[in-house]
Amino acid sequence: MKLRPCIDIHNGKVKQIVGSSLKDEGSSASENFVAEAGADFYARMYRELGLSGGHIILLNPVDSPYYELTKKQGLAALSATPGLLQIGGGITADNAVEFIDAGASHVIVTSYVFKNGRINHTNLKKLVKAVGKEKLVLDLSCKKDGDDYYIVTDRWQKMSTVMLNGETLEELSDSCDEFLIHAADVEGKQNGIEESVAKLLGNWAKKPITYAGGVHSLSDIKALKKLGKGKVDVTVGSALKIFGGTLELDEIIAACK
């Protein structure tokens, strides 16, 4: 288990937001933290700490008036630390190579693969052809509906009909290098992890997989390590001191070990 760092960018600024509050209309979100420093500052910090495999998420849709500002920040982070970080947000088969060429180790994709609430195998094949499955991360971020979790798309705003379970992970595992899962119901709320999601991921965990959402204390890290059987990596955002929280990066890194 290791810490996967994150850089979330919204309206051209590095931010930590409440995931469920994000709205494309009006480019609004409930903000926990807005950084004065640019995305490249955080990328260099992660490199100096020996962290890798983290993700940059562009939180504006491509048709947003803020998208180019947000993209510019993401590209600056990639340029500052080539090969260190992954990037997601508006990725398609048509633009994926641009981000790889800009320095991304992987591209992260949700909405392009889960079109109209279902897995779009044609688009998935196009992505694999464009960059290779070894450079593809599938983001299976989810929300709970009844007793089950379903993959959400379009910046966590739309529920799909695809259930997050072992069968889905198995089906998609041959088409990607890693999985990233934001537990969107708790994302940015610092109220604890979604234990059912963590357990599900730990029970499967046949390839690299990262959990994000709700971490606010070292006890959450310990719980995730136990539920994930030490095989699920973690992302911590709003709880970090660098993003206005109380936890130091060093203590999270140590707790993961």
Looking at residue 157, what is its pLDDT? 82
Please give the average per-residue pLDDT across 126-149, as a whole number.
Answer: 97
Could you tell me if residue 250 is inside a domain? yes
Percent of the chain with pLDDT over 70: 98
Q: Binning pLDDT at 50, 70 and 90, where does residue 191 land?
A: confident
Q: How many domains does the chain contain in total? A: 1
pLDDT at 107: 98
**For residue 180, what are the domain limits?**
6-256
Supply 250's token pair: 């060093």
**Rg (alpha carbons) of the chain, rounded to whole number:** 16
Mapped onto helix, strand or coil, the DSSP state of residue 177 is coil
- Residue 233 inside a domain? The answer is yes
Which tens digit of pLDDT belongs to each residue from 64-104? 999 999 999 999 999 999 999 999 999 999 999 999 999 99
Tokens of 149: 């979790």
At 217, which CATH number? Answer: 3.20.20.70
pLDDT given for residue 226 in this prediction: 97
In a domain, 1, yes or no: no
Compute the distance between CA of residue 90 and CA of residue 88 in angstroms, rounded to an integer: 7
In a domain, 242, yes or no: yes
pLDDT band at 20 (very low <50, low <70, confident <90, very high): low
With respect to residue 79, please indicate whether it lies within any of the assigned structural domains.
Answer: yes
Question: Do the domain assignments include residue 50?
Answer: yes
Q: Taking 80 as the threshold, does the pLDDT of residue 155 lie above it? A: no
Q: What was the pLDDT predicted at 108? A: 98
Q: Which residues pair with 158 in a beta bridge?
A: 153
